[in-house]
Amino acid sequence: MTGLRYETTYVILRSFWSADEKGRTNVNRNISPTATIDLLAEELLELYLSLPQKQREERFTDTARAAEISGLSVRTIQFWIESGAVQAVSVGRKYRVDLNSLREYLKCQIHKRAS
């Protein structure tokens, strides 16, 4: 595939998270919530909870919708989450898939096949 544009945005966690003088962790609101960030599970949950409802729905989806978007099975999406390939937040007994993480993983797979 010629002309394949492969782009990954990394944001240093220190610029996203900051601690005040009392050691409390705060989310840096100057960074777009749609930026692709390799977050730890707790940090991803904090981001999920801090987003307004509309932005949360734009950034996160359930495994059924992620499977529909990617054309794969729900079990494949669950496997990717469990293996750490795709990031998701566990809400109760369900996952809320980070669409940016899914998009980046799929781009990476396309890039590998093109090489």
Alpha helices by DSSP H, the chain: 13-16, 41-50, 53-59, 63-70, 74-83, 99-114
- 102's CB contacts (< 8 A; 6+ apart) are 66, 69, 70, 77, 80, 86
3-state secondary structure at position 83:
helix
- Locate the domains of the chain by residue range: 13-114
Instruction: Read off the pLDDT of residues 88-105 as tens digits, 9 standing for 90 and up.
Output: 999 999 999 999 999 999
- Fold observed for domain 13-114: Multidrug-efflux Transporter Regulator; Chain: A; Domain 2 (1.10.1660)
Instruction: Read off the pLDDT of residues 11-39 as tens digits, 9 standing for 90 and up.
Output: 222 333 344 454 444 444 444 444 444 67
pLDDT for the residue numbered 38: 60
Torsion of CA 35, 36, 39, 43, to 10 degrees: 30
Token match 């990031």: residue?
Answer: 87
In angstroms, the CA 98 to CA 101 distance is: 5
